[in-house]
Structures are given as C-alpha cells and as structure tokens.
Chains A and B, each alone.
Chain A
C-alpha cells in the first residue's frame, strides 16, 4: 500500500511546477488611429529613456538603475516647490521610452524601480510600510478605503512611447 502511494507521490513531486503567477501589471492604451494632441506642461513629465546599450537617461541625466527611484520620488512629490519639477502627484506623468534593442531585463528593472517609487510614496501616504502596502494591494477581496484614497492622491501614471529603432533587430 505504502509502496504504491510512495510511487505516486514521487511522480507528482517530480511533475509539480509551482506556477509563478506574479508579475508587473500594466494596462495598454486603447487602440486609437487618430493621434490625440494632448497638451501637457513640460515640467509635469518625467522622461526616462533607455538606449540600446541599456544606458539610462533620466531627465537629460545619465543615471544608474538604483538612482531612478529616488529621482522619481522627488519628482512626484514635488508639489510645485521646484519650478522645473511636477506641480502635483496627480499631474505628474512618467514617460518611459525604450529602444528596439533595449534588453528586456533592463526594462523590467526600471519598471520595477518606478513602481517602487509610487508604492513607497503611497505607503508613506497611508502611514504603513512598503511590505504592508504590497499585502493590501494584492488582497483584492478586502476593500480598503485608505488604499483607494492613496491611489487617488498618487495615481500611477506611466506612459510608454513607441520605441526608437537604433539597435533594432
């Protein structure tokens, strides 16, 4: 009896792949043929560009990946203090542009840092730690008024431009 059970057990142990069903979520813009001409103030746009050598240009400055978060946080939470930076978190938009030759790993690393900047600001707004914030975000069943409020106060606004084609395939 135990032998058969063991055999089956080992079979399932070997075949099991614990599914990884986590990741970074984004929402693509709807299909739109006519170009919309959106007027935005230059100061409210935080430009991030990754070139085909995986180098990072943030607001015309060369940066490494681990500096992006602080720069983004500073930009979003500026609230009109610095005349070159954003007017308010609601107005702030991050524009991310890549090249066709940019490595995916780099792109995800930058996306992750930008998401982290937003998450840390929202966590600070709610007065909790980042880990607690992530738990609330992933718990879809529980309605959390504070979370909704933080989402409204600091909306995650990321715009992705069409990639350039320098290091294309």
Chain B
C-alpha cells in the first residue's frame, strides 16, 4: 500500500538561474528605447495639452526650440526666453541656428526640416510670433507645437 501513498512534496523553489537572462532582456529593452537628453533645459517647460496630435515623422529632421521662463531667474530674469541647443538666444539669432541645423542634413532633405517648438504654457504669444517670423525668414516653415495628449473629456 505504501507504494501508492503520496510522497510529501513541498512546492519546489523557483529556479533563479534564468534571472540574469530576464534582467538582461529588460536592460536591452531600456537601452534601446532610451534617448539620452542632448540638451540641459534652462527654461521651464510644461507642455500644453491637445487632443488632435500629429506624429513627427523623421526624428533626424527635427530640431527643437524651447521657450519658457528661465529656471535661473536671478541670472536671466523672469521673462520667457528662447533656448536652442545649450544657450539662451534672442529671436534674431534663430536664423543662424536654423542654417546650422540645415547644414547637418543631406542636401535633398534640407527643405523638410521641421522645427519642434516646445513652449511653456505660461509663455505669451508675442515671443512665439517673433520666433515664427524669424523661422519664415530662415525658410524653415514646417512647425510643430509640441504638446501632450489630453485625456478626452465627455
């Protein structure tokens, strides 16, 4: 009879030998998806919410312009400023920035450059229209007002 009596078995411990594999898999996932921030933000940047968003197509064709209140208010004051790359600039310097960005691209793609405006919600339209005027001047006419997806309210 003892032949059929069940052996007492606890649940076997989960093997941890594959744990490194799982962790590595996660690691690779994050390594691939990570975009290291190229520029350090010197201005406040809370993006507005919108619902009818369009995706930016090719990342390499996109240049970013940040507008907002400087973080270091003692040094730069409280009025919204424009940041490109790592420096705060005046609207007059924007065409030069656009030409430099265009130089980085292939000749055939230069007309397709898109400027992504990352503007803080508290900024005023005055500075934005100055920037737009300068972008027209530099013939970078494709613009995208960066914004985050709003939750649809009924």
Chain A residues in contact with chain B, CB under 8 A?
A: 1-2, 5-6, 8-9, 12-13, 15-31, 98-105, 107-109, 111-112, 115-116, 119, 134, 137-138, 140, 162-163, 165, 167-169
Contact = CB atoms under 8 A, between A and B. Distances in A.
Interface centre among B20, B34, B48, B148 (most CB of A within 10 A): B48
B56 A21 contact: yes
Contact of B20 (A1, A13, A20, A28): A1
B135 A15 contact: no
5 contacts: A15-B36, A19-B35, A24-B144, A112-B50, A138-B55
A1 B119 CA distance: 44
A169 B126 contact: yes
B59 interface: yes
B20 A5 contact: yes
Given A2-B23, A15-B34, A22-B147, A28 B126 contact: no
Contacts of B30: 9, 12-13, 16
A26 B115 CA distance: 10
A22 B53 contact: yes
B31 interface: yes
A140 B112 CA distance: 15
A111 B16 CA distance: 54
Given A5-B27, A28-B135, A112-B51, A23 B145 contact: yes
A138 B30 CA distance: 25
Contacts of A2: 16, 19-20, 23
B24 interface: yes
A100 B126 contact: yes
Contact of B136 (A31, A98, A99, A103): A31
B127 interface: yes
B88 interface: no
A13 B26 CA distance: 10
A16 B142 CA distance: 28
A104 B128 contact: yes
B57 to A, nearest CB: 6
Given A23-B146, A31-B139, A9 B124 contact: no
A88 B141 CA distance: 28
A165 B26 CA distance: 53
Contact of B121 (A105, A115, A134, A168): A105
Contacts of B72: none
A108 B126 contact: no
Given A24-B147, A104-B121, A9 B23 contact: yes
A63 to B, nearest CB: 18
Nearest to A29: B136
A2 B21 CA distance: 8
